[in-house]
């Protein structure tokens, strides 16, 4: 079995903790409770080649109260930038975070466009989104509430990291 560290990053309130909770425990809560610091969860996943143990680092939302901490990415095998498609600014901040991540590591990163159970109300055009997605290895529409895209996203990472 190999261990892989995955970092979840993104603006405040995009649903990083909820995504992990859905993926690891299959639980979702509507109540928004802000995270402080880091919480690490483990989950094993079988790929065609081997068993992977994910160490999923759920990192506090990056905003004016909590800056980007490059040290959290140390030893990471991949990262997920989570955005909320009901809030345009979450993608602006996600892209800023992507820039900062790229300064310190070149491990693969995927984009999670979360809250897909809600109607999209951000103002990004399809063309803009297509261009933005080019900056990532892959993108996923996810819902921490319904589970849509969550398993697929982590399975994709397991696949990429064991290739």
Our CB check for other proteins shows the closer of 46 and 99 to be 99
Q: Out of 13, 108, 135, 147, name the contact with other proteins by CB under 8 A.
A: 13
Q: Out of 88, 105, 138, 155, name the contact with other proteins by CB under 8 A.
A: 88
For residue 90, give the 3-state DSSP assignment.
helix
Q: Out of 29, 50, 70, 130, name the contact with other proteins by CB under 8 A.
A: 70
Token pair recorded at residue 52 = 């992977």
Q: Within 13 Å of residue 52, how many CA atoms lie on the same side as its CB?
A: 22
Does residue number 93 form part of the binding site for other proteins (CB under 8 A)? yes
**Interface characters, 21-60, with other proteins (x: CB under 8 A):** -----------xxx-xxxxxx-------------x-----
Query: 2: closest CA among 61, 63, 56, 44?
Result: 44
Phi, psi of 128, deg, nearest 5? -60, -45
Phi, psi of 157, deg, nearest 5? -65, -40
Our CB check for other proteins shows the closer of 48 and 107 to be 107
Our CB check for other proteins shows the closer of 104 and 138 to be 104
């Amino acid at each position: 079995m190999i261990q892989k560290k995955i970092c979840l990053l993104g603006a405040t309130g995009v649903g990083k903790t909820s995504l992990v909770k859905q993926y690891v425990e299959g639980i979702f809560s509507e109540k928004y409770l802000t995270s402080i610091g880091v919480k690490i969860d483990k989950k094993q996943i079988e790929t065609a080649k081997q068993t992977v143990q994910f160490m999923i680092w759920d990192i506090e939302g990056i905003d004016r109260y909590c800056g980007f901490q490059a040290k959290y990415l140390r030893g990471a095998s991949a990262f997920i930038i989570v955005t909320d498609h009901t809030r345009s600014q979450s993608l602006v901040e996600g892209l800023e975070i992507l820039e900062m991540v790229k300064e310190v590591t070149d491990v693969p990163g995927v984009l999670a466009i979360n809250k897909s159970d809600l109607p999209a109300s951000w103002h990004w055009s399809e063309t803009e989104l297509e261009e933005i997605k080019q900056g990532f290895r892959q993108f996923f529409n996810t819902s921490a509430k319904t589970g849509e895209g969550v398993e697929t996203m982590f399975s994709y990472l397991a696949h990429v990291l064991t290739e």
